[in-house]
Amino acid sequence: MTAPAPAAWSAQRRAGVATNVAIQLACLLAVLIGLNWISSRRYARWDLTAQAEYSLGDKTRQLLGRIGEGEAKYQVVVFYAPDEYGAWEAALRKTKDILEEYRTNSHGRIEYEVLSLYTGGREAVMDAVKRHKIRTEQFSPNDVLFKKGDTERIVNLSEFFQQDWSSAPQGQPPKLTAFNGEQIITSTLQALSQEKPIVIGFTAGHEESSPAKAGGEGYSIFARQILEKREGYEIRQIQIGGPEGVPKGVDLVLVAGPLRDFTESDVRNLKLYLNAGGRALFLLDAYPDRDGRKLVILNAFLAEWGIIAGHDLVIADADSALAVEIPGEGGTSLRTKDPTMFRPAKYENRHLITSKFDSDKEIHFVGACSVLIDPKQAPEGIKTTVLVYTNADTFATPLFPQVKTFVAGKCMDGPFGLAAAAEGKIKGNAGPETRIVVIGDSTALCDGIWGMKVARPDLVLNSIRWLANQEYIIGVDPKTPEDRSLVLTDSEDGYVFRVAVFFLPLIAIAFGGTMWLTRRSQ
Amino acid sequence: MIEVRDLVKKYAGVTAVDRITFSVEKGEIVGFLGKNGAGKSTTMKMLSCYFPPTAGVARVAGFDCVTQSMEVRRRIGYMPESVPLYPDMRVEEYLTYRARLKGVPRRERAHAVNEVVSSTGLMDVRRKLIGSLSKGYRQRTGLAEAIVHKPELLILDEPTAGLDPGQIRQVRELIKELGKRTTLLLSTHILNEVELTATRILLIHRGRLVASGTPGSLVGGHQTARRYYLEVRGPGDAVNAALQAIPNVTGLSWSPAADWHGFKLESVPEFDLRAELAKTVVGNGWDLRELREEKMTLEDLFVQITRTDEAAPGGGVTQIRPAPVEPAPAAGGPA
Amino acid sequence: MTNLPALTKREFTAYFYSPMAYVIATGYLIFSGLSFYILLKDTRDANAMRNLLTFLGFIHTIFVPMVTMRLIAEERKTGTLEMLVTAPVSDVEIAVSKFLGALGFTVLMIAPTLLYTWIITRVGGRPDYGLVWASYIGLVCLTAAYISIGLFISSTTANQIIAAILTFVVLFTVYFLLGFFAGSVRGLPWKDTINWPEVVTYVHFSSHLESFGKGLVDTRDIVYFLSVVGLGLFLTVKSLESRRWR
């Protein structure tokens, strides 16, 4: 036999192996922790849901990409106040889900928390109030606070969704018919992230609805709460008739329901401004002039751009007219349809402003006038588009027979336009593109309508975004949640129970029994 | 085939195997003999790479059991004492599965299984569930499993444990048959089993190897005295005295009887005293009915070694010292 | 790894030879069927899988230990482990094959619950199939992590009952209890550098199941569950090897 080999396995080596295993374990743990660390930073996420419910739009992603590189953190706090019907629950769940996607996609730059005001415990709410330095008096239930440093924006959860109470079964919460949380969150975050706000100049001097005036025909709610607080625009009131024309620094001119006609100098200045790539939004109405004077100069000015605003009142048919409550004697009220309040029938999806609107989109028109286009009148280089149409049964009645611009005493039958846009560069414009939007209604966004909670600002907001070059916000899709509710009848209930609780386990037993018997047999 | 040097195994402070050194050549059938708990199974588990030794070297076919355990495992067939099998598998299924694990190529697998099934007499039960087999058949299944890949070395731990005499005989024959083909290391605590099957014996006690050799040489090597048995008719005291007076007689015990007295004698191993004894008895005019030398058996040796150790517990049994010759050791011969 | 298919096949088929496996599967289907029925009635939502997933995660903390308890403990008890480790197969192959065998059986055990979606369509519901698939991917990942933990615990004892109970305790903790601890670990050492509540939340299995339930498949969750599988298998291999130094 050969000489003995050195001891292959000794007590020392055994201890060595134990240490070795400990080191291996430590290494493995380090590798796994590292792996998880990397994976939490570089990851992929696939949305398998049928409607891609959790996939944020490209526009939102672009915004989050920019935010991700920023320094400050964004905080979103939902002050949720549940109601007894559970009507907001589905909306809250969707809001939470989508906020989680914002958090994930911004790599934690956007944080959110949901505080339940009635059920969440007082302490948590007070703690949050303290942490975010919230002035409680300015809050209403279901407000959502967006915060970046000391800048903040407040949106109400009610703006995130639309519900349908009519089809909800007795005692059941209503169904969500639309969810535009992403649009609102993205635009609000966008507003927060902006260094310098976009300036909107509200024209004054023609008895316009004023952002400074509250109540009735005032525009304070829309201008202050929506445009300023939520969307982050800067609001100015401007005079355009002066020698200096449209003041410098105004990014877009907004003419909100003028009751007096423009002067020649107003129009001249406006023309100069627009020819050089200016932006303007005109909200017109069916009742332009109480004194008998018409908006002749203004309408003629618009016609130069190929947009024809009618001196008429749009009368809707029963299908598109909205129901209103008319207070009667002794506290009773009459629910009836007002033919001057209606929903349009069709949106032009080929234009960006209305590209994401489908025919169910809730936009209200109140006492509107028609807005048509005449491309032949438009200057070279300017393209005109009708954005919104009525249905065929709606008509427009001329209110001022003496003005026989295009319908001599006769009503105009639908469908016709309610809003139009003009865009392009006229000859000699070396600057940006000129953009004009004319909407045949200003009343729908005045404080009175906001008070009735039927204001639907999406068309005007999208117009402003388009005019202000914020196309990426319009690009965010509102989502229509699919109805997946399922109420079982008694027989269906029994069927589900039989199959799930008896039949399926029986399969396992039968399969097992067969297997067992065949195994036993030789 | 096996090379073991200074093998030590300690479990939680208890030394189960203590510096064992031995080697087994190719083709040998080596019997591992020892009481229960002597360290046989532990040694075999180390050789089969179930666990490594605490110290020392174990090599099989030139491969180290610790550092080259995969090579070793490929070359051995091992049947542990309890013959663990999967009761939920059929015999053939199990053998095919094990053949696959042990690297029998796919094409030869069916043939290899068939061969072991027929050579171990499992033909009738090949489709039966192992759980429903009798102990004897299970043992054969275990054996079949151990040899299905034609190992160079077969390690069988107590292959006949728990079997009835008929089954023992069958298994023993099987082992003899196997021994013709491979090197075989088997352990047992039954003495005549090794005598019947093994070409060489390793006697292990309390973790130590106490003796090794062929059954004959073992007994010869450890014989410390010759023993004789005589039956004599005559005056007991006188016979006793006369026998004691014979030179080289080292011990004598006398069981008195009315007629024929029985005498047990021990003498130094160098001389055969039978002629002398006969001469003495017959010369004195007494009748001699029986005179025989009592050969030492393996069992005697076994008992002798283990008793020695028990007399001196903890003491090392590195060599066998002669038992003290006393006049009346009653333990001499339960025939 | 050449022996892996043979070993895995053995581990997988072994379940079908044992009446115990069918008892477990039947019990599992009764429990999950009841959960499904109650949830569907209660939430009136055709996307019952989102809520059911949380329940199944919990039910698995009870049934996976029953599946994994026998894996090594039984072989240790009957001695077949000695046969297994003295055959020319590596400990890694043994651990992986047992893991795969148990995973295969569990996936098969879960499979009938896919019919719940079919039941929903039978009674007029319109489930989101994407969400169903995502949920099942999550459930399988979670179960794989459970099995690797059960496998390791089974390798540390010869007593199947102890293995099952211990596994249940561990799974119940990582799936359920950890959620309660997340808030109470602020006081741990190095609290300035390590955000302990976040760490506990990360380790917490439920937090990695959430996205799957919504219909989202996230590599972060998959990486986490696979890490647990890797750790479980590593510990199992070391536990098998430990006969070498014990």
CATH number at residue B111: 3.40.50.300
Residue carrying the six token digits 């002035």: A135
Residues B127 and B246 in one domain: no
**pLDDT value for A171:** 67
pLDDT exceeds cutoff 90 at B114: yes
Give the tokens for residue A478: 């509102």
Residue A273 burial by CB count (10 A; 0-12/13-18/19+): exposed, middle or buried? buried
User: The CATH number of the domain where B255 resides is what?
Assistant: 3.30.70.3190
- In this structure, are B182 and B227 located in the same domain? no
Q: What distance in Å separates the CA atoms of residue A65 and residue A47, rounded to the nearest whole number?
A: 19
- What is the SS3 assignment for C22? helix
**Is a pLDDT exceeding 50 seen at residue B321?**
no
Name, in order, each residue with C-beta under 8 angstroms of B166's C-beta and a sequence gap of 6 or more: none
| pLDDT recorded at residue A332 | 72
Output the pLDDT for position A405: 46
Helices (H), chain B: 40-47, 69-75, 91-101, 106-119, 135-147, 165-179, 191-197, 215-222, 236-244, 274-283, 298-311
Nearest to C79 among B80, B88, B102 (CB): B80
Task: Assess whether B155 and B48 both reside in one domain.
Answer: yes
Contact by Cβ (8 Å): B232, B281: yes
Collapsing DSSP states into helix, strand and coil, what is residue B17? Answer: strand
Nearest Cα to Cα of residue A471 among A355, A387, A313 = A355
Pair A175, A168: CB distance under 8 Å:
yes
pLDDT of residue A402: 47
CA A181 remoteness from chain centre:
6
Same domain, B144 and B292: no
How far is B267 from B252, CA to CA, in rounded Å?
Answer: 9
Q: Which of C116, C54, C125 is nearest to A503 (CA)?
A: C116
| Contact assessment for residue A184 and residue A144, using Cβ atoms and an 8 Å cutoff | no
Distance CA A7, CA B21 (A): 13
The contacts of residue A508 (CB under 8 Å, 6+ apart) are: C22, C25, C26, C29, C109, C112
Domain ranges of chain C: 4-244
C50 closest CA partner among B247, A97, A317, A105: A97
- Nearest to C87, CA basis, from C77, C99, C75: C75
Q: Is residue C134 very low, low, confident or very high in pLDDT (cuts 50, 70, 90)?
A: very high
Q: Say if B218 falls within a structural domain.
A: no
Euclidean distance between CA atoms A67 and A64, whole angstroms:
5
Between chains, do B84 and C17 touch, taking CB under 8 Å as contact?
Answer: no
Percent of chain C at pLDDT > 90 equals: 68
Number of compact structural domains in chain B: 2
Same domain, B260 and B326: yes
Same domain, B172 and B299: no
Higher pLDDT, C155 or A50: C155
- Residue A419 near residue A345, CB atoms below 8 Å: no
Examine residue B264 and state whether it is found in any structural domain, yes or no. Answer: yes
Stretch B72-83: mean pLDDT: 92
User: Does C244 score more than 80 pLDDT?
Assistant: no
Which segments in chain A show pLDDT lower than 70?
1-14, 68-71, 119-121, 138, 167-171, 287-293, 326-331, 399-410, 453, 475-481, 522
- List CB contacts (< 8 A) between C235 and chain A: 25
In the structure, what pLDDT confidence band is assigned to residue B266 with cuts at 50, 70 and 90? Answer: confident
Q: HSE (CB half, 13 Å, CA atoms) of B160?
A: 25
Q: For residue A367, is it left (φ>0), alpha (ψ between -120 and 50) or beta?
A: left
Per-residue confidence (pLDDT) for residue B146, from 0 to 100: 92
Strand, helix or coil for residue A49: coil
- Paired tokens of A96: 């939470």
- Could you give the CA distance from residue A145 to residue A79 in angstroms, rounded to a whole number? 8
* AA letter at A18: A
Residues B107 and B209 in one domain: yes
Nearest to A320 by CA among A340, A299, A304: A340
pLDDT above 70 coverage of chain B, percent: 88
- B196, B200, B203, B207: CA torsion to nearest 10: -120
Inform me whether the pLDDT recorded for B79 exceeds 90.
Answer: yes
B282 and B204 inside one domain: no
Which of C13, C23, C161, C166 is CA-nearest to residue C97? Answer: C13
pLDDT at res. A5: 42
What is the number of other CB atoms lying within 10 angstroms of the CB of residue C190?
7
Which of A 3-62 lie inside 8 A of B, CB atoms? 4-5, 7-11, 14
Assess whether B143 and B275 both reside in one domain: no
Over residues B87-105, the mean pLDDT reads 93
| All residues at 6 or more sequence positions from C166 whose CB lies less than 8 Å from its CB, including other chains | C153, C157
Are B196 and B265 members of one domain?
Answer: no
In chain C, what residues touch A99 (CB-CB under 8 Å)? none
Given a contact cutoff of 8 angstroms between Cβ atoms, the answer to whether A73 and A109 are in contact is yes
Question: What residue has token string 């939007």?
Answer: A437
Same domain, B168 and B261: no
The residue ranges of DSSP E strands in C45-203, in sequence order, are none
C45-66 per-position pLDDT tens digit: 878 888 899 999 999 999 999 9
- Partners of residue B128 in chain A, C-beta under 8 Å: 522
- Do the Cβ atoms of C40 and A488 come within 8 Å? yes
Chain A: give the shortest CA distance to residue C46, in Å. Answer: 5
ipTM given for this complex? 0.89
Q: pLDDT of B9-47, one tens digit each? A: 887 778 888 889 998 988 888 988 888 778 888 999 999
Q: At what angle do helices C129-155 and C219-241 cross, to 10 degrees?
A: 20
Does A23 contact chain C (CB < 8 Å)? no
Q: Picking from A491-495, B49-53, B255-259, C89-93, which range would have the lowest pLDDT averaged per residue?
A: B255-259
Please report the pLDDT score of residue B316 as a whole number: 36
Note whether B151 and B205 are same-domain residues.
Answer: yes
3-state DSSP helix/strand/coil percent for chain A, to nearest 5? 35, 25, 45
Give the pLDDT score at C58: 93
Per-residue confidence band for B329, with pLDDT thresholds at 50, 70 and 90: very low
Q: Which pLDDT score is estimated for C57? A: 93
Identify the domain containing residue B306 by its residue range: 223-335
Q: In 3-state terms, what secondary structure has residue A517?
A: helix
Flag the least confident range among A29-38, A477-486, B271-280, B306-315.
Answer: B306-315
Going by C-beta distance under 8 Å and a sequence separation of 6 or more, which residues neighbour residue C212? C53, C134, C135, C137, C138, C139, C141, C218, C221
Residue at which a domain ends, from B213, B248, B276: B213
CA distance B79 to B157: 6
Domains of chain A from N-terminus onward? 58-190 (3.40.30), 199-469 (3.40.50)
Instruction: Report if residue B245 sits inside a domain.
Output: yes
Taking the Cβ of residue B303 and every Cβ of chain C, the question of whether any pair is shorter than 8 Å is answered with: no
Nearest to B74 among C79, C88, C243 (CB): C88
Interface test with A, best of C23, C123, C234 (most A CBs within 10 A): C123
Q: What confidence tier does C178 reach under pLDDT thresholds 50, 70, 90?
A: confident
Q: Which long-range contacts (CB under 8 A, 24 or more apart) does A286-289 make?
A: A286/A312, A286/A313, A286/A314, A286/A340, A286/A367, A286/A368, A286/A369, A286/A399, A286/A440, A287/A259, A287/A313, A287/A367, A287/A399, A288/A258, A288/A259, A288/A369, A289/A259, A289/A260, A289/A261
Amino acid B60 reads V
Cβ pair C109, C31 in contact under 8 A: no
Which of B163, B181, B213 is the C-terminal boundary of a domain? Answer: B213
Radius of gyration of chain C (CA): 19
Q: Which residue, of B187, B213, B239, is where some domain finishes?
A: B213
- The interface residues of chain B toward chain C in range 65-84, judged by CB-CB distance below 8 A, are 70, 73-74, 76, 78, 80, 82, 84
